[in-house]
Structures are given as structure tokens and as C-alpha cells.
Chains A and B, each alone.
Chain A
Amino acid sequence: MSIDPNLQRRGFLKCMTWAGTAMVWTVAGGVPRSRLIGSAEAAGNDFTFVQISDSHLGFDKPANTNVTATLQEALDNVGKLPNKPAFMIHTGDITHLSKPAQFDTAAQLCGGTKLTMHTVPGEHDILEEDGKSYLNRFGKGTKGDGWYSFDAGGVHFIGLVNVVNLQGNGLGSLGHDQLEWLEDDVKPLTASTPIVVFAHVPLWVVYQDWGWGTSDGAQALSYLKKFGSVTVLNGHIHQTLQKVEGNVAFHTARSTAFPQPAPGSAKSPGPMVVPAGELKQYLGIASVKLVSSKAPLAIVDTSLAG
């Protein structure tokens, strides 16, 4: 790809978004720096994985009347990544209404990538079967409401559930049992182990008025203080947001289904209808790369546009 060095950076980024090119976020010394990458640069043998989120299979309202097609497109983009990811993470709201057919479609489409998919439930995934609609399908072999951990590529991955038994404080909640489990889970790990935590609702409070946060998220993070590299991946808010605090990088992924408004920019966080032809700029995937064990991981957000 050729780049005109005279292009203003701002204009350039905008142009690249339009072209659907990936943007890398490297975080070094607590300062996130974005840079654009060409596909050649991205290829390599680094350990990478992909995050997709909020596919809302079954949603058919004006914000996106074909969420199956946009999920398929996102998965096609995963297949085209120059560096084959080790696996996928889905950060919840796999389905819109927890219907068996919606879970089946998810399994079928995501299975087409031939990649293992690690999931956590969103509030839309636990609406049926007394809240067991998710556990009976995607949550087999997990603990409690669906939390678990595993190791891959030298990274310790922790999937948390913060959408069950929500209370009047309006926020996501992990609950006592899960927090105890988390504390025990990370105890034997050395401080140099890179940690990736993934959950549906943002673990930090993005916007209290819309319930975009987790009431006991700070307690969960307090158990991760000793680690040099902590990366937190969330969904739920259908847009990318990043924040770095010390050794912790927070990141929310786009939805593959429909966008939601920026915090406080609309009357409600409901699905945002965008002008025809612009939807794919708002949908996408994130691929995550392990750069060093001393800093959070590098995250590349790619929109479906282009």
C-alpha cells in the first residue's frame, strides 16, 4: 500500500477507516499509540487471536435487517487475516433472544472458520430456560454461570460473566462466588504472565447512566495488580473504546450486528440507525497480538467496510 506522506494524519486515518484498513494499538509504557499497518507487516508467526462481539443473531430491526450476513462477513474477514489467529473470542450477545435456532446459527457460522471459539454470555444469551439457555450450549464445562480460564501462547485467559442477576444499581455484576474463584485462579501465576480478561459488559464504568460498567469490576482488577500485562476485552456497547490505566489496557469491541450511540450522545443506548451504505463502517472485528509480556497486548480493530 502506498501512503502519501503529505496527507494530514487526521485525514489519513479517516481515509483508512473508509478503506477498511486495520489500525494497530500498541501500548508501551502505559501510552497507547496507534499506527496503521499494511497486510505484509501484519504477517508473521506472532501469537494472535481474534475478538468478535455482539452478533445478536435474530435481530431484524432497521438498524440491521440481516445480522447473519454481517456476522458472516466478519468471519470471512477473520479468514483473510494474514497471520492465522490461534482462536476466536466472542464477548457475548451471541444471540438476540437466546432461541435455540439463534445459537445453532452462531455455532454453524462460527464453526465455518475452523477456529476454536471461546465465549462468555451477554444478557441477551441467558433469556430462556431459566437463564441456562447459554450454559446448555456454549457454556459446557465452565464454572458457575459460565466463567473459566485457560492458557494459550504463554497468556493466561480468563472469561468472566457479568450479566447474571443484575441489580438496581444498573451495572453489570460478577458476584462473590466468581470473585473468589478469580482470586484463587490467578494466585499461582507469576507476575510476568500476560493476562487477558474477557467479559461482556465493560469491567470499568464507561457510562453509569446507561449501565455501561461493572459494579464489582474494580475488585476483580485488584486481584490482577501484580501482573505486568493485563488486557481487558469487553463488548456490550457496540463501539470501540480504549483506556489504559497503569499496566491495564481496556478495550471494547465493535458489534458485528449494529452500532450504538456514543455514551450520552442519544436519548437511549438503543440500536443506532445509520445512513444506508455506512453500516459496515460501524461493524467489525478486533485481532489481538502478544507483543511483550511487560505491556498489554496490541489490538487491531478492523471495520467491515472496504
Chain B
Amino acid sequence: MNEMLEPGGNARRLLLRRALAAGIIVAIGSHKAKAAEAQIVVDNFTFSPTPLNVKVGTTVTWVNHDDIPHSIVCPTLKVKSHPMDTDESFTYTFDQAGTYDYICGLHPHMHGQVVVAA
């Protein structure tokens, strides 16, 4: 399908999705983001981007675009998210530099990594 032909709303959403998928820090309109933010998208049982490179203090949001729930489990951080159903999200702020591997608690073959620089 030619994405350019999609109605405005969808095209915008697509662009946004793409920006999010690329892990770009998003600041919409005139509102400036206060702290660094980044997003990881789950699509087709895949985390993207991975690894995600961020600075200390960045708030990372995972958004699930699959029609099956996923969760985030990071043993290093002892983090276990709630199940994220379709379009639901989970947010975590990385306060310490390091390399953090995580998996999906429902589908542990799904691997992701966040690299936090000081």
C-alpha cells in the first residue's frame, strides 16, 4: 500500500509510529519535553529499536502494537511489568548507567536491550 495516499490522520500516525520505532525523542507541538523520553515499540513479537541507546534519566515507554499481550521482564532491575494488551504501554525511568537485557514474560524468546550511558 502507498503510505502517502493514506488520509492525513493515518499518515501522521504512521510517521509518529515510525519516529517512535526509531527511538527518536518525541516532543510534539510547542510542548517541550521536560526530561528525555524514548519509546520502544512491540510489533510482530519484536522489540524495536533494540538495543536502545539513552542517557541516564531517560524515561522509556514500551508500547504494544500486537493483538496479543506482552510484558517486560528485566532480571537485572527486578522489573516485571503488567501485561500490556494491544496499544497499552509500560514506562520505566533509567536512573543508572548500564546495559539492561529484558525479555517478554509471556514470550521469553522476545529479547531486548537498553543501553544507558552516564
Contacts and interface: CB of A to CB of B under 8 A. Distances in A.
A258 to B, nearest CB: 9
B109 A211 contact: yes
A211 B68 CA distance: 15
B44 A170 contact: no
A124 B101 contact: no
| Interface SS of B by simple majority | loop
Contact of B111 (A166, A168, A269): A168
A127 B67 contact: no
Contacts of B61: none
A163 B71 CA distance: 14
A209 B83 contact: no
Interface in B21-63: 44-46
Contacts, number: 62
Interface string B66-83: 111101000000000011
Nearest to A273: B67
A270 B67 contact: yes
Interface in B81-106: 82-83, 85-86, 101, 103, 105-106
Contact of B45 (A62, A63, A167, A269): A269
Contacts of B83: 97-98, 127
Nearest to B46: A268
A66 B44 CA distance: 23
B18 interface: no
A123 interface: yes
B107 interface: yes
B64 to A, nearest CB: 11
A271 B108 contact: no
A210 B83 CA distance: 19
A210 B109 contact: yes
A168 B67 contact: no
Contact of B103 (A62, A63, A98, A168): A168
Contacts of A268: 44-46, 66
Nearest to A96: B69
A166 B66 contact: no
A271 B69 contact: no
A166 B105 contact: yes
B50 to A, nearest CB: 14
A208 B69 CA distance: 20
Given A127-B83, A268-B45, A270-B44, A167 B108 contact: yes
A267 interface: yes
A267 to B, nearest CB: 5
B67 A61 contact: yes
18 contacts: A61-B67, A61-B68, A61-B86, A63-B67, A97-B69, A124-B69, A166-B106, A166-B108, A167-B103, A168-B108, A168-B111, A169-B108, A170-B108, A210-B45, A210-B107, A211-B109, A269-B45, A269-B107
